[in-house]
């Protein structure tokens, strides 16, 4: 009986909304999957796309990025800037052929504890179905092997 694949998912969340929403899920004792670990940022505006890349590089199979709903940012506009940044980043990743479904973006407010729990569960199942992010991890091995094979074939 093979063990079920347990994806590793990192969540980049903002302190004022999603982190508080996750705390609320905890206070309400809502149960959800263990696969998601949270890293706290003051605002989604602070989330650098390079941190997402580093997460994938270091073994994350999936990422969640979540913050305050538009118009509700504790710092007024951080999430608006984040939104634009994500639109562009996602478009770039898609153009490069990166599987953008591995990154889940959402707005979760401080009152939405149940939404957080559902998001964690849904994302975990989605990434579990996709499997480990070997496409990214094996970049070097794959290309190396292929180029090597092609060179030998010549």
Exactly one of 1, 3, 5, 75 binds other proteins (CB under 8 A); that residue is 75
Among residues 98 and 127, whose Cβ is nearest to other proteins? 98
Touching other proteins, residues 90-109 (CB under 8 A): 90-100, 104-107, 109
Q: Give the chain's count of helices (H) and strands (E).
A: 6, 4
**Is residue 148 near other proteins by the rule CB under 8 A?**
no
**Is residue 145 near other proteins by the rule CB under 8 A?**
no
Among residues 86 and 127, whose Cβ is nearest to other proteins? 86
**Is residue 134 near other proteins by the rule CB under 8 A?**
no
- Name the 3-class secondary structure at 106: strand
Which residues sit opposite 73 in a β-bridge? Answer: 76
**Is residue 130 near other proteins by the rule CB under 8 A?**
no
C-alpha to C-alpha distance for 34 and 120, rounded to whole angstroms: 9
How far apart are CB 104 and other proteins at their closest, in Å? 7
Touching other proteins, residues 7-66 (CB under 8 A): 8, 10, 15-16, 19-20, 22-23, 25-27, 29-32, 34, 37-43, 45-51, 53-55, 57-60
Contact 54, 96 (CB under 8 A): no
142's enclosing H/E stretch is helix 139-153
Contact 19, 116 (CB under 8 A): no
**Is residue 82 near other proteins by the rule CB under 8 A?**
yes
Distance of CA 13 to the CA centre of its chain: 10
């Amino acid at each position: 009986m093979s063990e079920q694949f347990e994806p590793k998912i990192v969540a980049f969340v903002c302190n004022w909304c999603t982190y508080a929403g996750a705390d609320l899920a905890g206070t309400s004792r809502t149960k959800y999957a263990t696969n998601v670990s949270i890293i706290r940022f003051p605002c989604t505006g602070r989330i650098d796309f390079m941190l997402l890349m580093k997460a994938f590089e270091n073994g994350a199979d999936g990422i969640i990025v979540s913050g305050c709903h538009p118009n509700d940012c504790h710092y007024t506009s951080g999430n608006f800037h984040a939104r634009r940044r994500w639109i562009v980043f996602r478009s770039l990743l898609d153009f490069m052929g990166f599987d953008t479904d591995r990154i889940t973006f959402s707005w979760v407010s401080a009152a939405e504890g149940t939404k957080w729990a559902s998001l964690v569960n849904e994302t975990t199942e989605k990434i579990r179905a996709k499997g480990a992010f070997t496409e990214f991890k094996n970049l070097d091995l794959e290309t190396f092997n292929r180029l090597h094979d092609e060179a030998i074939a010549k």
